Chain A
């Protein structure tokens, strides 16, 4: 390479790379690093006080925060397990169904994925209307088919609020794993499947012994993304239950608690930036370690094709 070209390339490198790097450093890297430091200072509103070591973390694990913390953690964990079980299996079922049929494939793909493009605000309000205790069509259908005792205020009852949120989440998201699994299925070399069929394997055996193991990379990605999504669950609980996780904290999550601590709320009063940051560090560590450990474990069982 001539030295003139090299010099021009150096100039190009600097002028094209610096703006992108500057934006990332100023608006992502610096805030992410300072959020760590915030957890070790005392705060008065948004005014930083002195260094206070691990006091914020101690407060987070003591009354009154500890009750909220463990209740929220429980809800996030339930959300992860339930979403992983139902949303992922249904996504896999839809993907496999689309993989097996020819007729209507394009149309089904568009329909399955449609709710994924909706804003969670729109999805939340739509389902709030559908589930309205008085006017909502869901309860009217339930009553009409002769089960009036099951017509409930789904989002207003502490027993049903969290399961209802998870159902709405499923309605909105299930198309995502479906499309990821479908891409995984289409990447499988069809010779394996044909050969097994010629050898007389049943479709069930082919699915268990060939298709499912070869889908492991897609499953890894979906598991990790579901884990991150479940432990950072915010939008839907916020739209439907507000920042306090109504009713009576039944839909509280770690991210909602983080939001209340950061910016205060009508019920829980003024904010506490120190404890909020400690919780932020905790969530980030939990999600980071979980995702890293999980993907390492899952990757081990992936097979080469």
Chain B
């Protein structure tokens, strides 16, 4: 147990883990900048003379741009809807005392227990019936519904933690309830909105299961769903495939490097108290 006393041991553990994490990522980046044939003969060589052509091909040939755009629309649309609905419901449930408050809150929380994947069949049939199958709006509504329970839970906690005097002061100044919410409280719950945004947006951007089931038209496919098509089209054109993977991962990685604390907090929001 002497090991546990030495900081060098722990530094060593973390350095080895960092290498395990970063080496595959570096390999991916490096290979995306090499010609496919070069890669096949010497997979390890460094891309000393970056071959950007791979990225140009990914972006211009095929439907990568349209996949990217669809993911942006679907993730963005869901996010706006989730934030608006969770702000409203979180405000009411967190700050008003009325009969049935706990009941409604409890009901919303049961939504967190339902795994969307297992309700996929009725959802499929229901969306078909509503004319929302193979539709970006349909997908946005399903994502919103799946993320809302946790979002309302997080937002109501933030609203509850604000002092009541704020409301009374605003009301005395003649503010309506909507103005109170929008002008006074929303600016104060921004950290909660950031957590909700990250908690909701990342799984939606990364998801491929629901698009796989709900979207059939090639022009509506999302990025992660499209990658599977892309991999069939460019089989063994390694450089292009790696460039595609890099482009698909890039937006979140860039955001993560800028906002890592918020990302970590947001993605572990369900598991870590406080």
Binding site for B on A (CB under 8 A): 5, 8-10, 12-13, 15-17, 19-21, 23-24, 26-32, 34-35, 38, 46, 93-94, 96-98, 100-101, 103-104, 108-122, 125-127, 129-130, 135-137, 140, 171, 176, 179-180, 183-184, 187, 202-204, 207, 217-218, 221-222, 225, 228, 232, 234-235, 238-239, 255, 258, 262-263, 273, 276-277, 280, 283-284, 287-288
Given contacts A101-B14, A287-B115, contact A121 B208 (CB under 8 A): yes
* Nearest 8 interchain pairs by C-beta: A204-B1, A16-B88, A27-B145, A119-B206, A97-B10, A203-B4, A31-B119, A20-B89
Whether B209 contacts A31 by the Cβ 8 Å rule is: no
From B13, B120, B149, B202, give the contact of A262 (CB < 8 A): B120
In the complex, besides A10-B98, A34-B122, A202-B4, 14 extra interface pairs with C-beta distance below 8 angstroms are A12-B177, A13-B92, A28-B149, A31-B122, A46-B124, A94-B17, A96-B10, A98-B14, A112-B21, A114-B22, A114-B256, A126-B245, A179-B272, A187-B274
Given contacts A20-B152, A137-B43, contact A273 B85 (CB under 8 A): no
Task: Kindly list chain B residues whose C-beta atoms are within 8 Å of the C-beta of A94.
Answer: 13-14, 17
Tell me if B55 counts as interface (CB < 8 A to partner A): no
Give the shortest distance, in Å, between B88 (CB) and chain A (any CB): 3
Whether A24 contacts B238 by the Cβ 8 Å rule is: no
Task: Kindly list chain B residues whose C-beta atoms are within 8 Å of the C-beta of A137.
Answer: 27, 43-44
From B96, B146, B171, B202, give the contact of A117 (CB < 8 A): B202
From B128, B209, B238, B273, give the contact of A135 (CB < 8 A): B238
- Enumerate 17 A-B pairs (CB-CB under 8 Å) in ascending A order: A9-B96, A21-B104, A23-B81, A30-B122, A31-B119, A38-B122, A111-B21, A117-B256, A140-B44, A171-B20, A183-B268, A183-B274, A202-B1, A234-B209, A258-B117, A262-B121, A288-B113
Categorize the interface residue count of chain B: 35 or more
Whether B268 contacts A176 by the Cβ 8 Å rule is: yes
Whether B267 contacts A116 by the Cβ 8 Å rule is: yes
> Quick one: CB contact mask for B22-36 with A, threshold 8 Å, 1 for yes?
101101100100000
Whether A232 contacts B115 by the Cβ 8 Å rule is: yes
Whether A180 contacts B116 by the Cβ 8 Å rule is: no
Q: How far is the CA of A273 from the CA of B124 in the complex (A)?
A: 11
Give the shortest distance, in Å, between B145 (CB) and chain A (any CB): 3
Tell me if B164 counts as interface (CB < 8 A to partner A): no
B interface SS class: helix
Tell me if B102 counts as interface (CB < 8 A to partner A): no
Q: How far is the CA of A255 from the CA of B22 in the complex (A)?
A: 31
Q: How far is the CA of A288 from the CA of B114 in the complex (A)?
A: 9
Task: Kindly list chain A residues whose C-beta atoms are within 8 Å of the C-beta of B113.
Answer: 288
Given contacts A23-B85, A121-B224, A180-B272, contact A28 B117 (CB under 8 A): no
Task: Kindly list chain A residues whose C-beta atoms are within 8 Å of the C-beta of B43.
Answer: 135-137, 140
Given contacts A24-B111, A111-B22, A121-B206, contact A46 B125 (CB under 8 A): yes
Give the shortest distance, in Å, between B248 (CB) and chain A (any CB): 6
From B24, B88, B206, B207, give the contact of A19 (CB < 8 A): B88
Task: Kindly list chain A residues whose C-beta atoms are within 8 Å of the C-beta of B5.
Answer: 202-203
Task: Kindly list chain A residues whose C-beta atoms are within 8 Å of the C-beta of B241.
Answer: 125, 129
Most central of A121, A207, A255 by chain B CB within 10 Å: A121
Whether B271 contacts A20 by the Cβ 8 Å rule is: no
Whether A17 contacts B88 by the Cβ 8 Å rule is: yes
Closest chain A residue to B39, Cβ basis: A135
Q: How far is the CA of A102 from the CA of B115 in the complex (A)?
A: 40
Closest chain A residue to B244, Cβ basis: A125
Whether B248 contacts A121 by the Cβ 8 Å rule is: yes
Give the shortest distance, in Å, between A150 (CB) and chain B (any CB): 18
Q: How far is the CA of A303 from the CA of B123 in the complex (A)?
A: 42
Tell me if B242 counts as interface (CB < 8 A to partner A): yes
| B192-243 interface with A by 8 A CB criterion | 202, 205-209, 213, 224, 227-228, 231, 238, 241-242
